[in-house]
Amino acid sequence: SLANQATNWLVAGKLPTRQGSAHPNIAPYGDLFVTGDGKRILLAVGSDRQFGELLNVLHVAADEQLPEFATNAQRVQHRARLNPILQKYMAGRAADELLARLQARKIPAGLVQNVREALAADEARKTLLGERGLQAVRQLVAQVSFHESSKPLSPPPHLGEHNQVVGL
């Protein structure tokens, strides 16, 4: 995010380069990997413990668990060398199986989806307002709630639908 990049510049004078979704100070965090079934997984490994668990989940060979990957600072410094090793092991697994194993070990990771796939998920469907009439407009519900209001949200009115209610 800009907050991390700006802080790196303001504190250390380090001018950021293009990194895509990769976090500038944590690795592998925000890095994308392609699984054996062609799906993409984003990792958010935030600690050395989680990184050790990741190596166990992937069954990374001992000779590839290099000392320069031991700490987060080292992984950030050697990200260009680390990611191809992780990619090799991710490419041998199906995304669903890999995500289940990562979740069981409490390693933050998620499947990268397109908008259609994301909005078809059960969690996302709860945020959609229903369709009505021939001129249905599907839309997201703002995720804001007020304690006093338990009234379900409804789609916006059609042109003129509430004229009498508002006194027009």
The residue extents of the domains of the chain are 2-115
User: Any idea which residue has 């510049």 for tokens?
Assistant: 9
Mean pLDDT in consecutive groups of 10 residues from the start of the chain, 168 residues: 86 88 95 98 97 96 91 97 97 97 98 93 77 57 65 73 76
The predicted pLDDT at position 131 comes to: 52
Other beta carbons less than 10 A from residue 102's beta carbon: 21
The predicted pLDDT at position 162 comes to: 83
Under CATH, which number does the domain 2-115 receive? 3.30.1540.10
The predicted pLDDT at position 151 comes to: 66
Instruction: Label the pairing between strands 109-111 and 40-44.
Output: antiparallel
The predicted pLDDT at position 29 comes to: 98
- Supply the pTM of this predicted model: 0.76
Long-range CB contacts for residues 153-161, cutoff 8 Å, separation at least 24: 153/129, 154/129, 155/129, 155/130, 155/131, 158/133
The predicted pLDDT at position 145 comes to: 65
CA distance 63 to 88: 14
Angle subtended at Cα 80 by Cα 77 and Cα 82, rounded to the nearest 5 degrees: 85
